[in-house]
Structure 1
Amino acid sequence: MRKMILTFDKKSPSKVDEDISIKAICEENDNLEYKFFQGAQGERNLVWKQIRDFSGENECIWKPKEPGEYMLMVQAVDNSSGSTETIRATYEIKGIEEKDSIECKNTVNKLIKNVIIDKTSLIVGEKINLEVLASEEEEVLLYRFWINGKQGWEPLKDYSTENKLTYTTTEVGDGEVLIECKRPSSSDNVDDFTTVRFKVKEQPIIEINSFVCMTENILVGEELVFKVGVNYEKSRTILYKFLKVDLNGRISCIQDYSTKNIVSISEKEKGKYKILCCVRDIFSNKAYDDRAAIIYVVKPYEEIKIRSFSSELSSPQLSGNTIPFKTSVIGGNEILYRYIVEGPVAEDTGYIRSRNFNWESKIEGDYKVILMAKDISFEGDYEDISGLNFKIEKKGEKPVRIIEINPSKTRGCIKGEPINLKVKAEGGTDLKYSFIVYKDGVEKERSNYGVTNWVNFTPEDSGEYQVEVRIIDKYSSREYDAHDYIFFKVKDYEQAEIDYVLLQGKEYYLVGDTIEFEIIAQNTKNILLRYVTKINGHEIEDTGFIKNKYIKVKPKCSGKYTFEIYAKNILCKEDYDVKKEISVYVNEATPVTNTKINIDRDKIIEGQEVTFEVSSEGGKEVCYEFYIMEKGNWVRVQNYSRKNYYTFLPFTSGNYRILVLSKSYYKKVNYEDYADLEFEVRT
């Protein structure tokens, strides 16, 4: 843009209420818009007032209402390039009786070369950054910044050598910043100025698009994790607030507005609950931008299911034999079992805690053995039921019986690694063994009956395996004489196990001490560890999963430090394999002890001052409170303060006692230690 010239149709000075034509002439005036200002001297600063807003007309009529010295300013903006050009001139207005004696002074004294703004279109809450580029001829200039607000031009930053400004937008609409510039030696309020414009838009609408409970089994006493998802840009900061409605309809806040979109709770009672989540942008001036609720039902325990119910001896068996029954039941908190035998001789154990039942068969016949299972808190007859038929024949030889099954391992089974099973049995004349492998309830392989009482099987895939051991006597006509099951959970990797957490052997931790602990785990190279640090139940740090097995923490405040340690194999696709937790109490200082009172003289005389000085050990910023017993009455003579001495002026002779209470300043107790002393005042 070329240089502009400012002209007037009347010479300065002119008179009040006269129309004065102001014209800005520019050699290249294509695609330009012009804005006209008048400046009048206020109490301290030059007060600017808009004559006409931006338009394509380069001429404006100005009609001054008051006499005085004015500064007229025209700002031109090139719409194609965004560049600006500003020119100003002084003009004098006299009253009607005054004569026109002063000519108009048209000055073009450019100090501001350009203004760089990082963006002109913003969203509420975003910041704009301005940098003023001054004329290269000037070494030091002063800059002042204004914002066009509801009350006109409002100050942002007074004159300083800083040529940069960062401003946070708070309102929607068109914004404008005025930049004034002057030399340090100038006696004028403003030597040069310019303005920059920008637009502020509303924040995009925030909507909750998901609200789910991430805990599979919603049970009493279990950690329930809820997660909220919203549609928002990653550059925005979203705050989440969670409210819970309990069984009685009471509402409590479980998390005030924060950036955490995951909240965890634990319920102590079964029932129906509701959680309400409110979300808003950090710069939103609304109570919330969107909200959603989730209703969840808390069960007292996991549903009870009978996985297996079997006898160690196959049917038929001989009368007089004791037939052991075994069961595997999952779920519940405290499971009760009831065994009912229906047949020629009926039997009912009632509900008992034993999962094993030994049935003594007495008379031959057809029987049905029924198992009922329920939790101790369940009021109905049963929660799950299973039964099997059994035939008892006349007594014969000693029955075949499995004594025990010894697997090489039941935990930490990995696909591709062999598992060995050895069986110990008794009875019969010549026993033979068969092994059947099931995966997820489907038979995978089977070995024919043979004299070998052991087997090796290698799981090829991860999952839950069940191995059935069958034993038959050589002369038996049955499918099997005895059988039993053993279960294995096979994974793709070796599950992480934390053997020990070696904590530094200190009984008492203070603020500033170092808390050190080391994790001892097998298969260390393939294990990742995550450390979550909490102070008084509030999470302050989460390392995420890392390789480090050694942690050092230097506490900066007192309280209960809880360290949750999660371990998992690097191949683990779940949240973690194992979790351990340790707690350490950190104190602000050691307790105040060994408080002593010293007197600055051997003899205490009536009418003469005596000073009692107190010393103690331990504590932090120890404070003292003094009491004097005079004539059998205690009187507090000095409240708690850091002052560790008290000067006493006895007016009468006699026997006195002094009591000093001591405590650390931060301790919310009456005292931690005390000392008292009897003394005599003589005439």
Structure 2
Amino acid sequence: MNEMNILFNIENPEEEHKEIVVSIENEIEDNLDYKFLIGMEGTWTTLKELSATTSVLWKPEADAKYSIMVQAKRKESKKAFDFMSKTEYVVGNFYEKLISDIYIDKKEIMVGEKITLTVETKQVPIMYRYWIRNNGNWLLIKDYSSENVMTWASKYSGEQEFLVECKNLDSKNIFDDFMKIQFNVKSVQPLEIMKFKCLTEDLLSGRELVFDVEAIHEDSRMILYKFIKINPEGDSKCIQDYSTKKLVSYVEEDMGSYKLLCMAKDMYSLHEFDDRALIHYTVKPYEEIDIQSFTSDLSSPQLCDTPINLRCIARGGKELLYKFKIKGKCIEDSGYIRKNNYIWTPSEAGEYKACLWVKDSSFEGEYEKSVCLDFMIDDIGNTNVIIDDIILDKKNPVLINEVVHVKVKATGGTSLRYGFSIFENDTEIERIEFGTHDFADFTPGKSGKFKLEVRVKDKYSKREFDCHAVVYIEALVCIPAKIDYILMPTREYYMVGDTIALEVISENTRNTLVNYILKINGHLVEQTNFVQHKNYELKPKSSGNYLIELRAKNKASIEEYDCMKEIKIQVHETLPITDTRILCDKTNFKANEAITFVTENLGGRDVVYEFYLMEKEEWTLAQRFSKKNDYTFMPFTKGMYKVLVLSKNFYKSISYEDYDIMEIEVLE
């Protein structure tokens, strides 16, 4: 309680040992005695005992912060004092020590790593201000506040130092106390992109292209990757902004030569990127056409008027067209057809050349690939030998080191002989000469594509063979996993809180693993490892577009995945608003009488309503969107009126979801 004003003839002297007059400016009452006391660091000394004198001479002996107390006592009072005043006085260049100590949780950190500074003080409340020194410069990182804890992430390496400044709440000084502490920031291993490759073998329009990037960096660092596609015209498009995902995929709809730029950076890097790499790739409209075989069911030579089935196996393209051309005495041209076989019945003997042209339906040229067979037609010959079917006991593709049993069904001739050949990359690797057995076993010892050629001839035939056929066998380390079906509840409308369950149906279930990836509005939310179970369940907590990617692979597969399917689900916040109706409290309507309309509906949540009124063939807004579901108006003239109500969920940014109109006639 400062009841008296204490004055000094010198305001805060810069030098000690100067004599200072301490006095009382206002005398509260007459007949008072005054006592003067000096306090320093909690110790009080009487400067002058009780007397009627209102001033005293004081000579400070040291630079310090002093407390001056004056007690006043009535002469007849039995109290120690009746009035008291107290003030502070600073002598010399003294400042009060406010900070006891400062602490950091680490003496050494990596660039981008956070360090926490804690200040311990002798009193509260006080204000704190924080600075950081880097390369000899002090940078203010947090201005005065009451927070005694500060967290900082340094973006530069090297020796650095914190400076903490403190001051009292009522202090006019820039600071009353300060303290420093040093720490070291270590640089990180430079980020370097080592590999940037396309994982998709056939780069075709309309199919997913997958790219992968590998970089070397500190194990503890978070690395971000950004991918930008540059089309043949030089226009760029970001297909993935900075993210930790280093495997990116997209579907390219147009053919052409493209470039994909990958920019990589440390999460705490100050640069736009720390390293980058560019990959060039060409997207084709379809898989290159490959004529794998062009054969006839009957071998050359053959008799006139004998139907010869020309057959081909071709891969690639989107929609293949075939043209069979016969060159010789009797010329034939099938024109482009969709069937991959053609029945040729030669009517005259002679030397012929059977040619095949193949192209995609979108190709404008004559052909993309071609191949020809030489054929001799005789006037006389033996009974035709025909291969009716070739049966494999294993479903294609097959596993390596498993025996494939091949059975041949052929007709014609008198006594048939069978020969078998296995080719890999057009090189014969195994051969079984003609014999009476119409079967053979083949065991692929490694993965790859093999061609099995079956030759059949009559025992008495002078030809190399009378007919032959080709079967292609693909051998794999494991059978690729395939998702046949995804079972889901037969629902079309999902809401927040509903359970969405799906089940994967696939062959070879025990050896199939499935990876489930959940994305909401394009953002990755959850990704499982490849797991054995074929059931996945989720309960949406928010509305939006949900995408579930299911990637399946065989346990033994070395591929990232063997097949993939997507499920897209629209999750709604609530049921849609339906059955909006306007109800009225009257059946007869008269001028100058109020009419109230009330709206009700089904579905929705936090539904709002907007009312329009048609009067004299003009619509006017009567009541803006609000939760108020009723509207009252008073017609002043007779005539026809219409009331329109629009309803919608409050959170939806659309014009309306449902509506209703009521027409009334107002009479005099």
Matched, 1:628 2:628: no
CA shift digits 1:377-402 (9 cap, x unpaired): 33334322222222222223321011
Aligned partner of 1:97 in structure 2 is none
C-alpha contact (below 8 Å) 2:110/2:188 kept by paired residues: no
CA shift digits 1:95-133 (9 cap, x unpaired): xxxxxx98779899797356244034652x332123457
CA shift digits 1:487-533 (9 cap, x unpaired): 11122223323232111222321122111001122332221101233
C-alpha contact (below 8 Å) 1:13/1:91 kept by paired residues: no
- Matches of 1:599 and 1:443, distance apart in 2: 91
The alpha-carbon distance between structure 1 residues 180 and 535, as it changes in their structure 2 partners (threshold 3 A), is: closer
The alpha-carbon distance between structure 1 residues 143 and 89, as it changes in their structure 2 partners (threshold 3 A), is: farther
- Matches of 1:510 and 1:682, distance apart in 2: 47
The secondary structure found in structure 2 opposite 1:640 is strand
Aligned partner of 2:255 in structure 1 is 270
Matched, 1:222 2:207: yes
> Shift of residue 374 of structure 1?
2.4
Aligned partner of 1:493 in structure 2 is 478
Aligned partner of 1:158 in structure 2 is 145
- Matches of 1:231 and 1:306, distance apart in 2: 44
> Shift of residue 661 of structure 1?
1.5
> Shift of residue 556 of structure 1?
3.2
Aligned partner of 1:467 in structure 2 is 452
C-alpha contact (below 8 Å) 2:349/2:379 kept by paired residues: yes
The alpha-carbon distance between structure 1 residues 189 and 404, as it changes in their structure 2 partners (threshold 3 A), is: same
- Matches of 2:488 and 2:90, distance apart in 1: 90
The alpha-carbon distance between structure 1 residues 416 and 147, as it changes in their structure 2 partners (threshold 3 A), is: same
The secondary structure found in structure 1 opposite 2:146 is strand
- Matches of 1:468 and 1:322, distance apart in 2: 22
Q: How many aligned residue pairs are there?
A: 587
Code of the aligned partner of 1:301: Y
Code of the aligned partner of 1:524: T
The secondary structure found in structure 2 opposite 1:196 is strand
Aligned partner of 1:573 in structure 2 is 558
The alpha-carbon distance between structure 1 residues 251 and 446, as it changes in their structure 2 partners (threshold 3 A), is: closer
The alpha-carbon distance between structure 1 residues 609 and 499, as it changes in their structure 2 partners (threshold 3 A), is: same
- Matches of 2:522 and 2:103, distance apart in 1: 51
The secondary structure found in structure 2 opposite 1:424 is strand
The secondary structure found in structure 1 opposite 2:116 is strand
C-alpha contact (below 8 Å) 2:519/2:526 kept by paired residues: yes
C-alpha contact (below 8 Å) 2:196/2:212 kept by paired residues: yes
The secondary structure found in structure 2 opposite 1:244 is strand
Aligned partner of 2:58 in structure 1 is none
The secondary structure found in structure 2 opposite 1:449 is strand
- Matches of 1:152 and 1:295, distance apart in 2: 45
Matches of residues 390-469 of structure 1 in structure 2 within 5 Å?
A: 390-469=375-454
Matched, 1:541 2:507: no
Matched, 1:672 2:657: yes
- Matches of 2:444 and 2:125, distance apart in 1: 81
Structure ID, larger Rg:
2
CA shift digits 1:60-89 (9 cap, x unpaired): xxxxxxxxxxxxxxxxxxxxxxxxxxxx97
Aligned partner of 2:131 in structure 1 is 147
Code of the aligned partner of 2:365: G
> Shift of residue 193 of structure 1?
5.2
2:357 to 349, 358, 372: 372
Code of the aligned partner of 1:563: I
C-alpha contact (below 8 Å) 2:117/2:150 kept by paired residues: yes
The alpha-carbon distance between structure 1 residues 332 and 646, as it changes in their structure 2 partners (threshold 3 A), is: same
- Matches of 1:195 and 1:424, distance apart in 2: 94
- Matches of 1:317 and 1:506, distance apart in 2: 62
Aligned partner of 1:119 in structure 2 is 107
CA shift digits 1:604-658 (9 cap, x unpaired): 7766655433221112221101122334433211111222222334555665432
Aligned partner of 2:500 in structure 1 is 515
C-alpha contact (below 8 Å) 2:95/2:177 kept by paired residues: no
The secondary structure found in structure 1 opposite 2:510 is helix
- Matches of 2:563 and 2:195, distance apart in 1: 29
Aligned partner of 2:546 in structure 1 is 561
- Matches of 2:525 and 2:419, distance apart in 1: 57
The secondary structure found in structure 1 opposite 2:334 is strand
The alpha-carbon distance between structure 1 residues 333 and 261, as it changes in their structure 2 partners (threshold 3 A), is: same
> Shift of residue 331 of structure 1?
1.8
C-alpha contact (below 8 Å) 1:112/1:192 kept by paired residues: no
- Matches of 2:94 and 2:544, distance apart in 1: 72
> Shift of residue 145 of structure 1?
4.9
Matched, 1:329 2:314: yes
Matches of residues 244-323 of structure 1 in structure 2 within 5 Å?
A: 244-323=229-308
> Shift of residue 552 of structure 1?
0.5
- Matches of 1:449 and 1:245, distance apart in 2: 59
TM-score between the two structures when normalised by the length of structure 1: 0.76
> Shift of residue 569 of structure 1?
0.9
The alpha-carbon distance between structure 1 residues 372 and 195, as it changes in their structure 2 partners (threshold 3 A), is: same
C-alpha contact (below 8 Å) 2:582/2:598 kept by paired residues: yes
Aligned partner of 1:128 in structure 2 is 115
The alpha-carbon distance between structure 1 residues 398 and 89, as it changes in their structure 2 partners (threshold 3 A), is: farther
The secondary structure found in structure 1 opposite 2:498 is coil
- Matches of 2:636 and 2:154, distance apart in 1: 70
- Matches of 2:159 and 2:440, distance apart in 1: 83
Matches of residues 50-69 of structure 1 in structure 2 within 5 Å?
A: none
- Matches of 2:595 and 2:368, distance apart in 1: 83
The secondary structure found in structure 1 opposite 2:530 is strand
- Matches of 2:347 and 2:542, distance apart in 1: 73
Code of the aligned partner of 2:130: W
> Shift of residue 300 of structure 1?
1.8
- Matches of 1:251 and 1:103, distance apart in 2: 71
C-alpha contact (below 8 Å) 1:315/1:392 kept by paired residues: yes
- Matches of 1:497 and 1:121, distance apart in 2: 49
CA shift digits 1:205-239 (9 cap, x unpaired): 54444433332222222222233444432333333
TM-score between the two structures when normalised by the length of structure 2: 0.77
Code of the aligned partner of 2:432: S
- Matches of 2:173 and 2:654, distance apart in 1: 64
The secondary structure found in structure 2 opposite 1:675 is strand
C-alpha contact (below 8 Å) 1:89/1:107 kept by paired residues: no
The alpha-carbon distance between structure 1 residues 131 and 370, as it changes in their structure 2 partners (threshold 3 A), is: same
- Matches of 1:461 and 1:297, distance apart in 2: 31
- Matches of 2:142 and 2:565, distance apart in 1: 57
Code of the aligned partner of 2:406: L
The alpha-carbon distance between structure 1 residues 498 and 278, as it changes in their structure 2 partners (threshold 3 A), is: closer
Matches of residues 54-93 of structure 1 in structure 2 within 5 Å?
A: 90=64
The alpha-carbon distance between structure 1 residues 525 and 643, as it changes in their structure 2 partners (threshold 3 A), is: same
The alpha-carbon distance between structure 1 residues 576 and 109, as it changes in their structure 2 partners (threshold 3 A), is: closer
Q: Which runs of 5+ in 1 are unaligned?
A: 1-11, 17-87, 93-100
- Matches of 2:562 and 2:607, distance apart in 1: 48
Code of the aligned partner of 1:346: I
Matches of residues 473-484 of structure 1 in structure 2 within 5 Å?
A: 473-484=458-469
Q: Percent identity?
A: 42
The alpha-carbon distance between structure 1 residues 656 and 641, as it changes in their structure 2 partners (threshold 3 A), is: same
> Shift of residue 486 of structure 1?
0.9
Code of the aligned partner of 2:131: I
The alpha-carbon distance between structure 1 residues 508 and 477, as it changes in their structure 2 partners (threshold 3 A), is: same
The secondary structure found in structure 2 opposite 1:546 is coil
- Matches of 2:194 and 2:126, distance apart in 1: 51
